[in-house]
Every structure is written in structure tokens, then in C-alpha cells.
Amino acid sequence: MAILITGATRGLGRALREHYLTQGREVLGTARGTLPEGPGWLPLDVTDPASFPALAEKLDCVPVDLLVCNAGIYRDKGMKLATEYPAALWAETFAVNVTGVFLAVQALLPNLQMAKAPRVAVITSAMGSSARAPGHSYIYRASKAAATNLARNLATDLEPIGIAVGAYHPGWVQTEMGGNGADLTPAESAAGLAARFDELTLATTGAVLAHDGSPVAF
């Protein structure tokens, strides 16, 4: 049974892939454009709906024990409310951070159902918390709020067919998205997240947790 991570070529996705490879797990990673060298890579452009049926075709009859919906973008950092936040960026961000999550789950439902204890982990962010709402970064925050809501609703609908779903905040991570001044290395965040994924069962489906296991108010 395989672990599949979307957006696995850099940042947190890369760290998660490396974490599981060091454990000797079978890991599949998706990449947009030219695939990295080595085994286990699959093409996927999460902004292209036609890319998902093609992925499912390549994975025909392959059980997926864990689907990690990691692919995401954050391109409105520091934008000015009065003059920026273009409509096209709203559409692109939601296509990646929200629609891409749904289409990945939808396309790989047969593969998940082949596994004994299938799980879906949606990488979201505490920046999408409506309880905090400190302002700014409106597009990214709204997309992550939507992704968390999506994960919670998927948890409800997929529980009867034995698939557990959780939403996870990786912490402030030293990636291109998080910046060099962030609190956690990608490896530290990946290790914490992997532990949370291991804990995910039908009894805990719908959980919204940080990498360290603390609950995230949304």
C-alpha cells in the first residue's frame, strides 16, 4: 500500500516524502511539469482538471493507504487591500488550495477504498482560522479556511465507507512559503505531521490539528 503526496518536489511535501522514504515506506509524489529523476514520481497539475483522471489511470488498482493533499500556494503576502488582490489570483489560489484537494480525493476514491485503513490528510493552515482573523493575506486565508471546511465535510461523507479525513496545520515552517525566520525546519514539521497522520482513524476523523497534536480553532 502506498502513500501519495501531492506537490512533493519542494518544501513540506519534499520533507514528508523524505521522511517516509527513510522509514522504508512506498511513497508516490506528484510533480508539475518535468518529473524529478528516480522512481515514484507521477505527473499532476492541480490547476488542470484533466490531470486528475490521468493520475487515476496511472494508479489503476494501486491501493492508497494515505493521500496527503499538500500542494498549495501563497502569493498574496504583503499585498495592499486598496490596490492589489487581483481576481485572477483568487481563482488560481482556490484552484490549487481547494479545488485541487477535492479533485484529488474524488479521483483517488477507488484507490483509497482498496486500502485496509485509508486516510486523507489535508494540509491546511491556522492562517485560515476565523477565530483568529488578524487581517491581511485575504486570498490565502480564505482558501485555507475553505480547505479546512472541505476536509471536515469530506470526513462526514467518507466515514461510512471507511475513509478517515483530517486537516493539519504544519506550523510556521522554514520553506519558500514560510521564510527563513520560521520556527520549524521542514524535517521537524514533517515528523510531527507524520505522527498525526498515524493517529488518524475513523474514531478521530474530522480532526483539525497542528503538527504537534494541539487542536486548531477554525
The verdict on residue 189 lying in a domain is yes
The verdict on residue 216 lying in a domain is no
Q: What residues make up the domain containing 47?
A: 2-210
The verdict on residue 36 lying in a domain is yes
The verdict on residue 89 lying in a domain is yes
Regarding pTM above 0.85, the answer is yes
Banded pLDDT at 180 (limits 50, 70, 90): confident
The verdict on residue 217 lying in a domain is no
pLDDT, tens only, 1-11: 799 999 999 99
Burial environment of residue 205 by CB neighbours within 10 A (0 to 12, 13 to 18, 19 or more): buried
The verdict on residue 160 lying in a domain is yes
Q: For residue 168, what pLDDT is reported?
A: 98
pLDDT, tens only, 79-122: 999 999 999 999 999 999 999 999 999 999 999 999 999 999 99
The verdict on residue 218 lying in a domain is no
CA-to-CA dists, residue 31 to 24, 28, 71, angstroms: 21, 10, 9
Q: How many domains does the chain have?
A: 1
> Are residues 3 and 66 in contact, defined by beta-carbon separation less than 8 angstroms?
yes
| Mean of pLDDT values over 67-72 | 98
- Which CATH number belongs to the domain containing residue 184 in this structure? 3.40.50.720
